[in-house]
């Protein structure tokens, strides 16, 4: 289970005098969906383009299934499937011709496998139509079919739900889970939406200004950042009681904010009530990406 399929070490990119990516390290395991989360301009796309060797890193190494991309390009890239930004295919060819085109760039792909892939992304009925007549969702699916052609072990998807409608997003999400759970692929997904990442990833790396700030499982990251908002009176007394267990900050609109701890919350409430505090409201608040960022970066704004 903990087989490492993609290892990134000390990845840096300097353009001109500016250091865009300042040393990124992370690892992908077999069968997991790994989220790459950060605001626009944090360096997500640059990093992903380095992973798929569209951009040459200034320093650092990328290993795909044990093959270094620099020294064993062919072997490494054979294990990789990817869509970078939008799946741009040849609009004047049919879906099937596009697949044939990319199959010719891979060693020995048989027709049956191509048909299976088409079936998997459910494009059987439209596969012989020109791509220019496809909807965005269908293009995205064809893009995935194309990425799956080479039977990759690692799949890299840059903003896979961008521009899709809600049904398309849900479909894409379950498809990504399917790839990881049933096919045993490692999937790297980038997004600037926390909710996205939360719904489909096992682990997440938070990236900001070209650095990975944190790598953790989605569950622990979220619980760490969950807040409990108290509306109580009198405030001063309640604050001093709560501070016995946990740090307390004062919210802007006369509320107190503590961390959310499922085990303790009821106990804190009881002792407040026992000491004569009126608890008017207890609200559990999931973190917004903005808060998470403020917390982790100490004040960097998210655009």
Partner 1 sequence: MTKLVQNEMLKLVRKKKLVVIALIIGVLVSLFTYAQFKIVERTVERLGEVDWRTTLQQQIIDTQNRLTSSRISDEWRSQLQLRIQQQQYYLDKDINPMEPGAPTFMRMFAENSINLFIPLMVMVVAADLVSSERSAGTVKLLLTRPVKRWKILMSKYISLVLSVSFIVAMFGILSYLISGIVFGYGGWKAPVITGFTVEGGELNTAGVHLIPQWQYLFMVFGLVWFVALVVGTLTFMLSVLMRSTAAGMGVMLAALIAGAILNNMVASWESAKYLFMINLKITDYLAGNTPPIEGMTLGFSLAVLAAWGLAALAVSFSVFTRQDVY
- Binding positions for partner 1, rule: CB under 8 A: 49, 52-56, 73-78, 80, 82, 84-90, 92-93, 97, 101-102, 104-107, 146, 150
Q: Please tell me whether residue 283 adopts helix, strand or coil conformation.
A: strand
Report which of 216, 212, 204 is spatially closest to residue 47, judged by C-alpha positions. 212
Work out how close the CB of 78 gets to partner 1 at its nearest, in angstroms, rounded to a whole number: 4
Work out how close the CB of 114 gets to partner 1 at its nearest, in angstroms, rounded to a whole number: 15
Q: Counting every residue, how long is the chain?
A: 303
Chain Cα centroid distance, residue 227? 23
Nearer to partner 1, 38 or 152 (CB): 152
Work out how close the CB of 183 gets to partner 1 at its nearest, in angstroms, rounded to a whole number: 19
Work out how close the CB of 40 gets to partner 1 at its nearest, in angstroms, rounded to a whole number: 15
d(CA 44, CA 46): 6
Q: Please tell me whether residue 285 adopts helix, strand or coil conformation.
A: strand
Work out how close the CB of 92 gets to partner 1 at its nearest, in angstroms, rounded to a whole number: 5
Work out how close the CB of 18 gets to partner 1 at its nearest, in angstroms, rounded to a whole number: 14
Nearer to partner 1, 162 or 269 (CB): 162
Nearer to partner 1, 88 or 219 (CB): 88
In sequence order, the β-bridge partners of residue 158 are 190
Residues with Cβ within 8 Å of 243's Cβ and at least 6 positions away in sequence, in order, are none
Tokens of 37: 């989360």
Helix axes 289-297, 218-225, angle to 10 degrees: 80
Radius of gyration of the chain (CA): 23
Nearer to partner 1, 67 or 175 (CB): 67
Q: With the CA atoms of 267, 272, 273 and 278 taken in that order, what torsion angle do they form, in degrees rounded to the nearest 10?
A: -140
CA distances from 201 to 79, 216, 238 (A): 21, 11, 38
Nearer to partner 1, 142 or 222 (CB): 142
Work out how close the CB of 111 gets to partner 1 at its nearest, in angstroms, rounded to a whole number: 15
Q: Please tell me whether residue 59 adopts helix, strand or coil conformation.
A: strand
d(CA 258, CA 228): 5
Nearer to partner 1, 53 or 297 (CB): 53
Nearer to partner 1, 44 or 173 (CB): 44
The single-letter DSSP state of residue 272 is H
């Amino acid at each position: 289970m903990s087989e490492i399929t993609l290892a990134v070490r000390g990845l840096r990119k300097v353009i001109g005098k500016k250091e865009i990516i300042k040393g990124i390290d992370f690892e992908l395991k077999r069968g997991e969906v790994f989220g790459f989360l950060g605001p626009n301009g944090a360096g997500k796309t640059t990093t992903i383009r380095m992973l798929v060797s569209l951009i040459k890193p200034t320093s650092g190494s990328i290993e795909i299934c044990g093959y270094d991309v620099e020294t064993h390009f062919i072997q490494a890239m054979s294990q990789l499937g990817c869509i970078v930004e939008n799946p741009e295919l040849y609009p004047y060819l049919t879906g099937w011709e596009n697949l044939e085109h990319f199959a010719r760039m891979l060693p020995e792909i048989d027709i049956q496998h191509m048909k299976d892939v088409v079936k998997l992304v459910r494009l059987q009925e439209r596969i012989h139509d020109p791509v220019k007549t496809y909807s965005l969702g269908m293009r995205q699916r064809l893009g995935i079919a194309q990425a799956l052609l080479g039977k990759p072990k690692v799949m890299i998807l840059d903003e896979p739900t961008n521009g899709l409608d809600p049904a398309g997003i849900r479909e894409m999400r379950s498809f990504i889970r399917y790839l990881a759970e049933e096919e045993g692929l490692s999937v790297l997904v980038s997004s600037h939406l926390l909710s996205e990442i939360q719904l489909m990833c096992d682990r997440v790396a938070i990236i900001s200004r070209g650095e990975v700030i944190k790598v953790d499982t989605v569950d622990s990251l979220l619980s760490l950042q969950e807040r409990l908002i108290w509306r109580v009176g009198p405030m001063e007394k309640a604050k001093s009681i709560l501070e016995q267990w946990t740090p307390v900050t004062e919210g802007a609109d006369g509320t107190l904010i503590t961390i959310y701890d499922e085990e303790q919350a009821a106990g804190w409430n009881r002792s407040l009530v026992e000491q004569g505090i009126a608890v008017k409201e207890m609200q559990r608040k999931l973190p917004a990406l903005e808060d998470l960022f403020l917390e982790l970066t100490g004040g960097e704004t998210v655009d």
